Amino acid sequence: MIHLRCNDVKYADYIGKEVTVRGWVHRLRKQKENTFMLIRDDRGGVIQCVLATEKALTLTIESCLEVTGKLQQDSRAPEGGYEIRATDLKIYGVAKVDYPIGEYQSEDLLLDNRHLAVRTRRMSTIAKIRASILKYARQWFIENNWLEVNVPVIVKDAVEGGSTLFKVRYFDDDAYLSQSAQLYLEAMVFSLGPVWSVTESFRAEKSRTVRHLAEFTHMEAEAPWIILDDLLRIQEQLISHIVQNTVNENSADLGYLKRDLSDLKSIEPPFDKLSYEKVIEILRSKDFVIIEDNGNERKIEWGDDLNVDSERELTRNRSRPIFVVDFPISLKPFYVKEDHEKEGIGLSADMLAPRGFGEISSGGERENDITSITKRIEKESLDPKAYDWYLDLRRYGSVPHAGFGMGIERLVRWIANLQDIKDTVLFPRTMSRVRP
Ligand code: AMO
């Protein structure tokens, strides 16, 4: 018996042969004599099956079954003009008639039923693109001799400020869900050299935006003996490798999502670098305004952080990512190293994706000076005691080092051209959504 996996076979090779397909009833049209079903297999491939209606009476949308019959060519059949004339049917599970997902559904209904919506072509297409992005990221790190490591996600210390920490009860104590693997990766570079990890990070983000999740997949890398310029080169190469290979492997998937491939194909190093000062100058020349917490509007000025709107404005007419460098250190966390040639400026960089997508990574050189780190930890209202182990890294043979963190969902959002970050992950976690 020939088991068809729809996406992997050339149907023409099987015309007239008896084949079997296993899957779910994707579409169903019962006529007096014949029933026409579009069967979707477990890789998302589809084929039409025609069955005598008397054998199909119990069948419903999303019923799980196995159909055997002769493969025939019929130009009326959807998805390529082939169909199976069924002679045998094995039913694994009849679906209840009230399957909640139809052709046109509201966003909320799809999110409430995400455990079922993962079966839609759109969601499985995005999942495949995401898998390629992770695969080619891993390939780049392996080819360039970086060691993959794992870190804990239950921690005692904040990396990105205290306001977005999720507290958890840890036996008789309190702990937090990790915001970033960075501090642990920093500990590893002393004995493992360049290291990288993919870990879930957690942020109790109060803001509802199209690019923030409460839980996201964080790809992070850290290496000894490198400076900011090296870090930018590493990210340019990594991103170009991921994009070119994903476009190559997933062009049909990207096409299904109506992603214009020409921009992506042009992604190659080097990426433009703009200083924070230049960025503020550009935004001011466009009369870009900031809305303050009290609702007042004013023109953006030096010292303001970049946000979703300013990054959209900066990148909307660009086709390739850019780095923003030379941020005021006051806008950056305690670990960012100050540029000793430019007082008050940090040796860090954010990478912004083009066409309005904005920040996808952040990183830089790490501060070595214990006094400076401690002061800045206190300034962020964090408890220096929690960082004792981290400060040991500076006490015992500190090494110049640098690293970055990149949000996989932000990367998927840009590469697959998705507006809402919730679509980049099968089971999104946001302020208002923790199930399914
Ligand atoms: P940062 O906080 O900028 O830096 O995070 C790094 C990258 O992670 C992604 N990201 C998010 N993605 C989805 N939802 C969120 N709420 C969210 N928050 C962040 C973004 C961002 O660029 N330790 C530092 C990095 C470093 O210096 O190594 C850090 O975590 O893509």
CA of 405 to the centre of ligand 1 (A): 6
- Tell me the pLDDT tens digit for each residue of 105-128: 899 999 999 999 999 999 999 999
The answer on pLDDT for 79 being more than 80 is no
Residue nearest atom 2 of ligand 1, based on CA coordinates? 160
At residue 315, the pLDDT reads: 98
- Tell me the pLDDT tens digit for each residue of 370-425: 999 999 999 999 888 889 999 999 999 999 999 999 999 999 999 999 999 999 99
Distance of CA 131 to the CA centre of its chain: 9
Domain 2-93 falls in which CATH fold? Answer: OB fold (Dihydrolipoamide Acetyltransferase, E2P) (2.40.50)
Alpha helices in 168-307 (DSSP H): 182-192, 228-249, 251-256, 261-265, 276-285
Angle between helices 276-285 and 308-315 in degrees, nearest 10: 80
394's enclosing H/E stretch is helix 388-395
Residue nearest atom 9 of ligand 1, based on CA coordinates? 407
C-alpha distances out from residue 277 to 21, 297, 342, Å = 61, 21, 12
CA of 35 to the centre of ligand 1 (A): 51
Report CA Rg, the chain.
Answer: 26
**Which ligand 1 atom is at minimum distance from the Cα of 360?**
31
CA of 12 to the centre of ligand 1 (A): 48
C-alpha distances out from residue 369 to 157, 180, 241, 287, 385, Å = 19, 21, 35, 39, 17
Q: Which residue has the higher pLDDT, 392 or 13?
A: 392
The answer on pLDDT for 1 being more than 80 is no
- Tell me the pLDDT tens digit for each residue of 233-287: 999 999 999 999 999 999 999 999 999 999 999 999 999 999 999 999 999 999 9
CA angle 59, 63, 68 (to 5 degrees): 80
| 424: nearest Cα among 51, 128, 115, 26 | 128
User: Which of 163, 216, 409 is the pocket-test mutation for ligand 1 (most atoms within 8 Å of CB)?
Assistant: 216
- Tell me the pLDDT tens digit for each residue of 307-340: 999 999 999 999 999 999 999 999 999 999 999 9
Residue 82 falls in which region: left (phi positive, over 0), alpha (psi -120 to 50) or beta: beta
**Both structure tokens of 321:** 């990512």
Strands 195-202 and 147-148 turn out to be parallel
The answer on pLDDT for 6 being more than 90 is no
The answer on pLDDT for 345 being more than 90 is yes
CA distance 169 to 289: 42
Contact 111, 428 (CB under 8 A): yes
Assign 9 a pLDDT band (cuts: 50, 70, 90).
confident
At residue 7, the pLDDT reads: 85
Assign 103 a pLDDT band (cuts: 50, 70, 90).
confident
Residues in contact with ligand 1 (CB, 6 Å cut-off): 159-160, 180, 182, 203, 205, 212-213, 216, 218, 220, 359-364, 403-407, 409-410
At residue 5, the pLDDT reads: 86
| 340: nearest Cα among 227, 232, 231 | 227
Average pLDDT along the chain: 95
**b or e along 155-185 (b: 16 or more beta carbons within 10 Å of the residue's beta carbon)?**
bbbbbbeeebbeeeeeeeeebbbbbbbbbbb
Distance spanning both ends of the chain, measured CA to CA = 38
The full set of domain ranges for the chain reads 2-93, 114-424
CA distance 18 to 86: 9
Model's pTM, two decimal places? 0.95
State the virtual CA torsion across 384, 387, 391, 392 in degrees, nearest 10: 130
CA of 290 to the centre of ligand 1 (A): 22
- Collapsing DSSP states into helix, strand and coil, what is residue 280? helix
**Both structure tokens of 315:** 């990148």
Contact 329, 336 (CB under 8 A): yes
Q: Which residue has the higher pLDDT, 95 or 6?
A: 95
CA of 323 to the centre of ligand 1 (A): 15
- Tell me the pLDDT tens digit for each residue of 354-365: 999 999 999 999
The pLDDT > 70 percentage for the chain reads 100
Q: Which CATH superfamily is domain 114-424 in?
A: Bira Bifunctional Protein; Domain 2 (3.30.930.10)
- 2-93 against 114-424: fold identical: no
**Both structure tokens of 50:** 């025609």
